[in-house]
Amino acid sequence: MELKVKLYTDPGHGWVAVKRKLLDELGIADKITYFSYQKGKTVYLEEDCDLSTFATAMNLKGIILKYDQKHTNNRHPIRSYENYRY
């Protein structure tokens, strides 16, 4: 099974958007760091650590991630969202 997720990038970093509910269902919501961001019911997982935690949990469920990348050459607005809190 595959899951398509949006990968947002700017010249310095990247984030994958996932619903908070999915993090809860996977049992990893408490393992996500404050380096990720949140807005509404969406969490933007930073690419260095938190994305790896998410990808590993999905892989254990037999789900392969497919990335739909959205790049900007400017500072991405995600950087101004609230830092993630469990």
Q: What pTM did the predictor assign?
A: 0.95
What's the rounded mean pLDDT across residues 39-67? 97
Confidence of residue 47 (pLDDT cuts 50, 70, 90): very high
CATH at 38 = 3.30.780
- Tally the domains of the chain: 1
Task: State how far the alpha carbon of 23 is from the alpha carbons of 3, 43, 74, 75, in Å.
Answer: 14, 9, 29, 26
Strands (E), 1-86: 2-9, 14-19, 37-39, 42-46, 64-71, 82-83
Residues spanned by the domain of 64: 2-83
Task: State how far the alpha carbon of 20 is from the alpha carbons of 39, 65, 72, 73, 74, in Å.
Answer: 10, 17, 24, 27, 26
What's the rounded mean pLDDT across residues 11-26? 97
Distance CA 44, CA 38 (A): 6
